[in-house]
């Protein structure tokens, strides 16, 4: 069947549903370089304004998966289940969750990425561990899943090349914020990794990519539909991201906090534990594993699995993590109750200190970041430290402090406690 890219762009511009053949042809032709970037940009903008029907989106995503390799995890020998987060400030859940669910008996093939902007990347955090290897061959990943039960690694270049091209294009054409394009980008990578089941942590709030709960719900629903249409048991947990998850936002300091949770040192980290266990419960349910994740966290099994995973990927679980040269306190201006500690502002401050990057090629600091000495709801005294900035480049401090202007609010009455887990979306 002969295809014309201009006809495809025009049809979507005018709100039509593209045929399965048109969708598959476009993804294949663009991946091969037979469709120009400006034409792909035009189609992305048409999708941004007119959206996609569920069936249309499922075929578009399947075509992106088919543009490259798909991992075969059939030899792993245990049920496979993964988790993906849409990103937040202090979101180190993956570091705890992968070994925890592996300790329950499932295999967790987590292909992760690096951070961009105020939201940290899982691989950046793990790179703070001396010797850690994030680049593994498919054979190495399968062997580790068989022996350890979990792996956190970078996606290989052979997975979803169409997504890599489209993502780079969307980044420079103001089409990143399209729910169908976000959903297909996330789900194509996750489905291509070969997992049987997937739990999505869709965050909403000031520190999340999806600020609106309605948008977060729409994204969650779209991704669940895509997963089920492509043979992956999928559910989504919508969680709040108005304040930092846990207390640390950085790389090495988030690894330290993750090990604290795995070791049972959870004082002041109730929010992090709550979200982690909610996701773990959903993962073991989808994997059909009848084990209580809370018990595996409490009995040390998850910590032992973490140590196995770190060793398997070349790291030293007992090695010292990088520490910043300086620490600077941001103090309470008056006494009362901390009623607001804006996640986005803290994330930007950590980013400006060097914990994040502006471009994907930029290096990051392993030791820089922000620690929340106090959290929302805590009683504080005037002059008490609220935040602790971990600084290895003093030239960055001024810009980091500027990001925190207006981020802290203190009132005479404690705030009402807000739920962290807002909803669960299932097929």
Outline where DSSP puts E strands in 191-254.
197-204, 233-240, 248-250
- How many C-alpha atoms does 116 have within 13 Å on its Cβ side? 10
Strand partners, 154: 112
Catalytic residue among 92, 114, 164, 189: 189
Backbone φ/ψ region at 314: left (φ over 0), alpha (ψ -120 to 50), beta = left
Catalytic residue among 164, 170, 190, 357: 170
8 A C-beta contact, residue 389 and residue 397: yes
185 is catalytic: yes
What the block records as the tokens of 190 is 């996750």
Distance of alpha carbon 120 from alpha carbon 349, whole angstroms: 12
Distance of alpha carbon 105 from alpha carbon 98, whole angstroms: 11
8 A C-beta contact, residue 222 and residue 236: no
What the block records as the tokens of 418 is 């807000």
CB contact set of 172 (below 8 Å; sequence gap of 6+): none
189 is catalytic: yes
84 is catalytic: yes
From 17, 425, 84, 46, select the one nearest 225 (Cα to Cα): 425
Give the 3-state secondary structure percentages of the chain, helix then strand then coil, rounded to 5.
Answer: 45, 20, 40
163 is catalytic: yes
Rounded to 5°, the CA angle 48-113-393 comes to 110
Catalytic residue among 163, 271, 378, 392: 163
85 is catalytic: no
Q: Which residues of 376-396 are buried (b: 16+ CB within 10 A; e: fewer)?
A: bebebeeeebbbbbbbbeeeb
Catalytic residue among 84, 125, 203, 352: 84
Outline where DSSP puts E strands in 20-129.
81-85, 108-112
8 A C-beta contact, residue 122 and residue 95: yes
Catalytic residue among 85, 119, 178, 185: 185
Distance of alpha carbon 148 from alpha carbon 311, whole angstroms: 10
Catalytic residues, by residue number, are 84, 163, 170, 185, 189
């Amino acid at each position: 069947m002969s295809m014309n890219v201009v006809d495809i762009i025009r049809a979507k511009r005018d709100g039509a549903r593209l045929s399965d053949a048109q969708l598959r042809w476009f993804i294949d032709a663009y991946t091969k370089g037979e469709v120009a970037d400006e034409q792909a940009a035009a189609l992305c903008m048409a999708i941004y304004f007119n959206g996609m029907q569920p069936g249309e989106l499922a075929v578009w995503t399947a075509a992106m998966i088919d543009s490259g390799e798909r991992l075969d995890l059939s030899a792993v020998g245990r049920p496979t289940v993964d988790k993906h987060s849409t990103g937040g400030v202090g979101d180190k859940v993956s570091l705890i969750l992968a070994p925890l669910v592996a300790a329950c008996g499932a295999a967790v093939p987590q292909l992760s990425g690096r951070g961009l902007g105020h939201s940290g990347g899982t691989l950046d955090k793990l790179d703070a561990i001396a010797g850690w290897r994030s680049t593994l061959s498919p054979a190495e990943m399968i062997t580790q899943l068989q022996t350890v039960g979990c792996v956190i690694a970078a996606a290989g270049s052979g997975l979803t090349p169409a997504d890599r091209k489209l993502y780079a294009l969307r980044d420079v054409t103001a089409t990143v914020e399209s729910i169908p394009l976000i959903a297909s980008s996330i789900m194509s990578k996750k489905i291509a990794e070969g997992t049987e089941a997937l739990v999505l942590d869709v965050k909403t709030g000031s520190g999340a990519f999806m600020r609106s709960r309605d948008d977060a719900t729409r994204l969650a629903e779209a991704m669940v539909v895509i997963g089920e249409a492509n043979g992956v048991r999928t559910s989504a947990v919508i969680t709040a991201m108005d304040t930092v998850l846990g207390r640390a936002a950085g790389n090495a300091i988030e690894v330290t906090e993750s090990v604290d949770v795995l070791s049972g040192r959870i004082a002041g980290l109730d929010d992090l534990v709550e979200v982690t266990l909610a996701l773990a419960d959903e993962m073991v349910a989808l994997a059909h594993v009848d084990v209580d994740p809370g018990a595996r966290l409490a009995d040390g099994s998850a910590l032992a699995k973490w140590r196995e995973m770190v060793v398997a990927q070349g790291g030293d679980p007992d090695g010292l993590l990088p520490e910043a040269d300086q620490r600077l306190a941001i103090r309470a201006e008056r006494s009362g109750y901390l009623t607001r500690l804006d996640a986005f502002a803290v994330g930007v401050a950590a980013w400006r200190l060097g914990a994040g990057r502006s471009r994907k090629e930029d290096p990051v600091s392993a030791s820089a970041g922000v620690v929340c000495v106090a959290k929302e709801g805590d009683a504080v005294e005037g002059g008490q430290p609220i935040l602790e900035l971990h600084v290895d480049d003093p030239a960055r401090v001024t810009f980091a402090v500027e990001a925190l202007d207006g981020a802290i609010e203190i009132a005479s009455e404690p705030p009402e406690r807000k739920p962290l887990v807002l909803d669960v979306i299932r097929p």
